[in-house]
Structure 1
Amino acid sequence: MTPITKLVLLIAVAVLVFWLVTRLRNSTRRDRVSFRPVEDLPQDVQQSIDHALAHDKKVTAIKLYRQATKAPLDAAKAAIDVREWKRG
């Protein structure tokens, strides 16, 4: 095999590996956030969250949700956003 052929083959393999890795990353990336709805939490926690939202204390509502569920920040924010949207 000539050096040029080896170089072309090496570049082709590198491009293929790069494409496969990129494809794998994109297929395993989670763009969706799953969370437990506030409606599924105990009544006292729901009331505390609703009270915080009624007084424009969204950060407090997120903290209350996280304490009750041990959820990550993005899931807690999504749950509180949905609760706020449902409340109108």
Structure 2
Amino acid sequence: MNNEQKEAMKILKISKGQIEATIKMIEDERYCVDVSNQIIAAQSLLKKANLLILKQHMNHCVMEAFEHDKGSEKIDEIIGLLSKIIGK
């Protein structure tokens, strides 16, 4: 596991805790805006973890593919992911 993956794992575990806390907030009928703020915080962490995973992918998998003349396949994968991220 490289540094980006370790950091992503750490962030995902934190977001898991936030999601569990958010579920508890709903069960406890906490104020809706507070629940929404927790959801936004969890989403932010998930985005950060995703960027780390994509960075790792670019630095390792994509670079290796280009070294073996298979870079265009990886570029298509990245474009597919980016289209999902930006909602197109």
When normalised by structure 1's length, the TM-score is: 0.31
Give 1 or 2 for the bigger CA radius of gyration. 1
When normalised by structure 2's length, the TM-score is: 0.31
